[in-house]
Structure 1
């Protein structure tokens, strides 16, 4: 039996309505989705915003609009922005997003920051100064090694111990499997991390249940998966959250909502 807390990632950077007709894109849609997912059991929202053409955006103004809408619709829900590049933004643009918003929480890709070490140093220092809760995105062993190097060098403050393990890939598509978690746990076993996981593809729920049992927190949502385990379309992000809560409860795990 384990306690866990859910973060929902309702849209991501790449999916469009052709991938799922209920994908939330506008601030109003994201706000409604946040409220629905909070009622279903999610405590936090991993927020992506889009530009006028529906493309991934790090625009501070668009973020502020969406954050305000979510805060009004789901005032008890924590909001985590992303600085992910999605192959569009450079590290200096990612830093500019952090600098403009100074958010309460942000996900930051170790792999992307490593492209510009001097900007990485400034970004982590800024987050330490502003109190931003950084969640380091880890895609594999090389990211873990980089994180360890930066802890030893003092680039990343020792207290910034939140990470998310990414199981599988969006492009080229690699479907996650529960056994994928073992490599991350082995690589990080001495690092004293507060870890979460997300998983691409229809085995998302099985992967997240394995993560909960191992002591991690799940991130679920259309960013990573739009299908049931049987391959049918999921109805909504909230339905996906609710199904995870039901399955985790059946396994004896305890949901922490706040």
Structure 2
């Protein structure tokens, strides 16, 4: 890569504050951590929100406050806001057709309500339907199509989250049908159980399945976060790191901040001979509004 874009995934929805007390939770904590990550070299901020007790949130007010606090201090960094929450279904114990208590499955319109309101530069669009823990994540083609229509209508660019090879087939089919617009932005998500394995062979295979003009990022989770970051760079992709993906620097050392992770990511890119793109340069590379 001539210039490598670092995305920082600031808090996610599955990492737990009890496992690392440095995990940002409130809109103010997430915004402050995001701004520190941008100062450390992240050109894109991938953003979720949470309730005060650490549970994942879909509250519009949480998104609004987080974005307000970030934009008050930084207008250059690119915001990439999740649309992942709202796709989980837990079959009930008595009747699997009836949703269990961990279900949060909502309409496609509800999934992107905050995108319509905030209009970030980018938002994620998950293409996976898969087992996720003891639940199912559901993103059927008609459901994805509806979400994409709303996203495009609001001038936002989707980043397609790809968890397995079938997701790439769906990406290709929807590009061919004109549902998605090229060149696509995509992330290869490695290390989620029952999805792409976090190893070199899998990333190489997945990259080769992508449409030729795809602008892609590759990342792994947990202890494979940094090995997969280096692998993504070597294979010509952009990179991602953050406390959504890993809360440990080593087996015994907890991550202190997202900035610490971004600094290490930037160091790896430079050691491998690369250059880290600024937020302004990333906007040019992705053809986003300045």
1:108 lines up with 2:125 in the alignment: yes
How many equivalent pairs are there? 255
Contact 2:22 2:255 in 1 (8 A): no
User: Which residue of the partner structure matches residue 99 of structure 2?
Assistant: none
Contact 2:163 2:189 in 1 (8 A): yes
Map 1:27-176; keep pairs closer than 5 Å.
27-85=27-85, 87=88, 88-92=104-108, 93-111=110-128, 115-157=139-181, 159=182, 161-169=184-192, 176=198
Query: What is the aligned-residue RMSD (CA, Å)?
Result: 2.4
TM value normalised by structure 2: 0.80
After TM superposition, give the deviation of residue 175 of structure 1 in Å. 7.3
Compared CA separation, residues 160 and 134, structure 1 to 2 (3 A): farther
1:5 lines up with 2:22 in the alignment: no
Contact 2:116 2:154 in 1 (8 A): no
User: Which residue of the partner structure matches residue 214 of structure 1?
Assistant: 235
CA distance in 1, matches of 2:176, 2:197: 33
The 10-residue stretch of structure 1 (248-257 or 100-109) with the greater mean CA deviation from structure 2:
100-109
After TM superposition, give the deviation of residue 13 of structure 1 in Å. 0.7
CA distance in 2, matches of 1:241, 1:53: 26
SS in 2 for 1:62: helix
After TM superposition, give the deviation of residue 178 of structure 1 in Å. 3.4
Contact 1:175 1:202 in 2 (8 A): no
CA distance in 2, matches of 1:7, 1:197: 10
User: Which residue of the partner structure matches residue 288 of structure 2?
Assistant: none
Unpaired runs of at least 5, structure 1: none
User: Which residue of the partner structure matches residue 133 of structure 2?
Assistant: none
1:180 lines up with 2:202 in the alignment: yes
SS in 2 for 1:45: strand
TM value normalised by structure 1: 0.89
After TM superposition, give the deviation of residue 195 of structure 1 in Å. 0.4
The 10-residue stretch of structure 1 (55-64 or 84-93) with the greater mean CA deviation from structure 2:
84-93
After TM superposition, give the deviation of residue 134 of structure 1 in Å. 0.6
The one of 207, 226, 233 aligned to 1:205: 226
